[in-house]
Structure 1
Amino acid sequence: MKRTNEQQSLRCQVEKWLSPGPTVLVRVIEFSRTQLGRRRYVCVETVQPAGLRALFFFRHDDGCWRVFPPAVDKPTMTPARHAA
């Protein structure tokens, strides 16, 4: 099954990973950019009977939010770049 950007939205990912109920408060407690790559991230928390739960979500180049950070672009050496 191919995932759409809607399925990878921040709201969808929060519902998937934190499973907040209709009466559970969901709060964004931190948002910024990573030092490497300047990628957006958000930390979301919920307070449920089982306790406090928080997760970081990272925005990828395709616009989707995921619980793992995107790969950092690393410089590469190519033969054409160094050919004399």
Structure 2
Amino acid sequence: MSIAEKSLRLLVEKWLTPTPATPIRVTRFSRTHSNWRRYVRVEALRPQGSITLFFFQHDDGTWRVFPPETGRLTRRSYMGAI
């Protein structure tokens, strides 16, 4: 994956295509409570109304519009010698 594909700025421009007439702004950035992964909330102001997208940072450093998969709990049992 190229550096450009990891850039949050380029991803925001791809999804929201900002222009001087339709600006974008970061309205929130923080970490999730469950696993402390970074996320950014971006809002685009359009004549029809605002559009809000969340971008989540994945373990490989990429930003995507869907959250990374969380580790699932697994239950294992072992049969030991009696």
Tell me if both proteins adopt one fold, taking TM over 0.5 as the criterion: yes
- Find the counterpart in structure 1 of residue 36 from structure 2: 38
- The letter for the 2-side match of 1:65 is W
- Find the counterpart in structure 1 of residue 24 from structure 2: 26
Shift of 1:9: 1.3
- Find the counterpart in structure 2 of residue 14 from structure 1: 12
Query: How many residues are treated as equivalent by the alignment?
Result: 79
Q: Which moved more, 1:53-62 or 1:5-14?
A: 5-14
Shift of 1:8: 2.7
Q: What value does the CA root-mean-square deviation take over the aligned residues?
A: 1.8
TM-score by length of 1: 0.78
Q: Structure 2: how far apart are the matches of 1:78 and 1:4? A: 39
Gaps of 5+ in 2: none
Matches within 5 A, 1:1-84: 3-21=1-19, 23=20, 24-77=22-75, 82=78, 84=80
Larger radius of gyration: 2
Matched position secondary structure for 1:14: helix
Gaps of 5+ in 1: none
- The letter for the 2-side match of 1:33 is R
